[in-house]
Amino acid sequence: MADGVAARDGRLISVADRPITGILLPVPIVCFIGNLLTDLAYLGSGGNLLWLNFSTWLNAAGLVFGAIAAVALLIDTIRGRLGWAAFVFLLAAWIVEFINALVHSRDGWTAVAGVGLILSIVGVLLILIGGWLWQSLRHVEVRR
């Protein structure tokens, strides 16, 4: 039993033997991808405000869960369990999507067309890279 306890001390923050970041990180990834898709749907629909409202809510949910996941990832990174790359990409994605939320708070077409769509694309790319880095670094940690 003592060996099992010692083995757990070097693990990532976890709940039921699952890293907590792995539980939280998919939510902002899905929300930010959904935000991009609803932005595209808004532009394709000729400006149906329903899609703009969906984008706003998806972005807000992604920001909330992204912040929680970033805190868990920061703790694991500070503890030396993971490298800084995944945290930096997640933080960059969160900042871009926060700016995107401010841009989406404008009215109508100007909220999405141009800067809003570019920010959505950049945010999705950053969070996908961050999620991929976290996953690959986690598997390196598990093999140790």
pLDDT at 136: 82
Q: Are strands 18-19 and 14-15 parallel, antiparallel or unpaired?
A: antiparallel
Token match 């930096």: residue? 88
Exposed, middle or buried, 11 (CB in 10 Å: 0-12/13-18/19+)? Answer: middle
Report CA Rg, the chain.
18
| Mean pLDDT, residues 6-27 taken together | 65
Please give the Cα distance from 47 to 58 (Å, whole number).
18
pLDDT at 135: 81
pLDDT at 90: 92
**pLDDT tens digit string along 104-142?**
888 777 778 888 899 999 999 999 999 898 888 766 555
